Amino acid sequence: MYLEELRLADFRSYGSLSLNLTPGVTVFVGANGQGKTNIVEAVGYLATLRSHRTAVESPLIREGASRARIRGVVVDDGRTTSVDVDIIPGQANNAWINGVRVRRVREILGICKAVVFSPEDLKLVRGDPASRREYLDDLLVSLRPRYAAIRSEYERTVHQRNAYLKETLKRPHRLDPSHLDVWDQQLCRAAEALLKARLSLTSSLAPLVEQAYAAVAGHHSVVRLEYRSSVPEALTTQEPEAAYLAAIHRLREAELARGITLVGPHRDDLDIFLDDRPARMYASHGEAWSLALALRLAAYEMFRRDGTRPILVLDDVLAELDSGRRQALTETIDEAEQVLLTTAVDEDLPKATRFLVRAGEVRRVD
C-alpha cells in the first residue's frame, strides 16, 4: 500500500501542508528541528492512532490551535480510501473514512498500515516495560483492528477499577464488596483476552526476530522473546481469567492499601534474551540497535505474512547504521511499495523522490 496524499492542518509545526506522494522511496531532507519528523509522525499516527514520539497528544497540536487534522489518501491494491482524523486534546477525537464520519475513531485502524523505525526504538530494548508492551499492542492492533476494542476495553477497565480503589482509599468505610467484585470480574475477563492475544503474537514474532537479528548483526545469536506476566500462573493455565481472579484475591489488601490495580497485563513485560542474557541490561549499544531493528523488521514481516505490504517509515535511522546493518534494511526498502525516509544528510538513494524541509516549508526538488 502507499499514501498518495498527506495533508496536515495545525499538526505540530505545520499550519497547513499538502503533499502528493508516490510509490517508491521518498526522502525528506532537512536539518534537525526543521519539521521533517513531524511529517512521518503523522503517517504513524494514522496507522496506530498514537505518536511514536509522545504519549500525550497536546504536543501534536500547533501552538494557538485547538485541534489538529491529519488526512491521508491510501491506495491499497488499486483501491483508494481517504482517512481523516481530528486530534482534540482532552476530548474524544473524530475521524472520517471517505468523508463519512465514523462512530469510533479506532474504526480507521487497518486502513493505513505502517511500520515506523526511529531512534526512539532503542527504548524497545533498553527502556521500561511500557515501551515493549506498547510495541506488542500497537502491532496487534494494526494487524487485527478488532484488538483495538480489546485493548481499549482493558485500559478503560483498569482506569475505572483504579478510580474505585482510590475512592475507597479515601473513604474505606464506603467499600462495597459487590461493587469491587464487579470490577474484578470485568478486569479478569478483559485481562485474559489481552493476554491471549499478546501471547499468540509473541510466539509468531519470536522466530522472525531471531532471523532478522542474524541478518542485521551479520552473525547468528540466540535471541529469545519471553513474555513475562505479573501473574505467572496465567501463562501456564487454559483459564487465565481464573488465575487473575485468584491473584486479585491474594493481593486484595495491597491493592486497597495502595489504591491501584496490581494484577493484569498492564504490569507485564516482554523479556528479550540475547545469548541467554537479558538484553535490557547486558546488550552493548550495537547489539541493542540490532535488536531494535530486528523487532521492527519482524513486525514488517508479520504484515507480509498477513498479505499486506505496509508503508515503511524510516525516521532518522539510516545515518545511525553502519554498512552491515544498512544492508539488512536495503532488502526491505526494495521490497516495500512505499518508503518514507527522513534524514539530515542527503542519502545516496537512486530513483528517490526528494523533498527539502526547511523551517516548516516543504519543497519538492527534482
Partner 1 sequence: MYEGVVQDLIDELGKLPGIGPKSAQRIAFHLLGVDADQVRRLAEVLLQVKERVRFCTVCGNVAEADRCRICTDPRRDASVLCVVEEPKDVIAIERTREFHGRYHVLGGAISPIDGIGPEDLRIRELLQRLADGAVKELIIATDPNLEGEATATYLARIVAPLGVRVTRLASGLPVGGDLEYADEVTLGRALEGRRALDV
Q: Which residues bind partner 1 (CB under 8 A)?
A: 66, 91, 103-104, 149, 153, 156-157, 159-161, 163-164, 167, 174, 176, 178-179, 181-183, 185-186
d(CA 85, CA 69): 6
Q: Which is nearer to partner 1, 101 or 228 (CB)?
A: 101
Nearest distance from C-beta of residue 181 to partner 1, angstroms? 7
d(CA 1, CA 344): 26
Q: Which is nearer to partner 1, 176 or 346 (CB)?
A: 176
Which among 211, 239, 205 is positioned nearest to 124, based on CA atoms? 205
How far does Cα 164 stand from its chain's mean position?
29
d(CA 197, CA 231): 16
Under 8 Å CB-to-CB from 130, ≥6 apart: which residues?
Answer: none
d(CA 145, CA 109): 6
Nearest distance from C-beta of residue 42 to partner 1, angstroms? 24
Nearest distance from C-beta of residue 156 to partner 1, angstroms? 5
Order across the sheet with 24-29: list the strands. Answer: 114-117, 311-315, 338-343, 24-29, 353-358, 361-365
DSSP secondary structure letter of residue 61: B
> C-alpha distances in angstroms, 57 versus 43, 143, 152?
15, 23, 17
Q: Which is nearer to partner 1, 185 or 204 (CB)?
A: 185
Q: Which is nearer to partner 1, 152 or 202 (CB)?
A: 152
Q: Which is nearer to partner 1, 179 or 364 (CB)?
A: 179
Nearest distance from C-beta of residue 106 to partner 1, angstroms? 9
Say how many Å lie between the first and final Cα of the chain, rounded.
Answer: 24
Extract the C-alpha cell encoding 227.
Answer: 513474555
d(CA 244, CA 234): 7
Three-state SS across 287-313? HHHHHHHHHHHHHHHHHHHCCCCCEEE
Q: Which is nearer to partner 1, 5 or 155 (CB)?
A: 155
* Residue that is written with C-alpha cell 482506569 in the block: 159
Nearest distance from C-beta of residue 165 to partner 1, angstroms? 8
Nearest distance from C-beta of residue 8 to partner 1, angstroms? 21
**Beta bridge partners of residue 2, listed in sequence order:** 75
Nearest distance from C-beta of residue 349 to partner 1, angstroms? 44
Nearest distance from C-beta of residue 103 to partner 1, angstroms? 7
Q: Which is nearer to partner 1, 149 or 319 (CB)?
A: 149
Nearest distance from C-beta of residue 163 to partner 1, angstroms? 4
**Cβ(12)–Cβ(38) below 8 Å:** yes
Q: Which is nearer to partner 1, 174 or 219 (CB)?
A: 174
The CA dihedral of 54, 55, 57, 59, to the nearest 10 degrees, is -30
Q: Which is nearer to partner 1, 106 or 280 (CB)?
A: 106
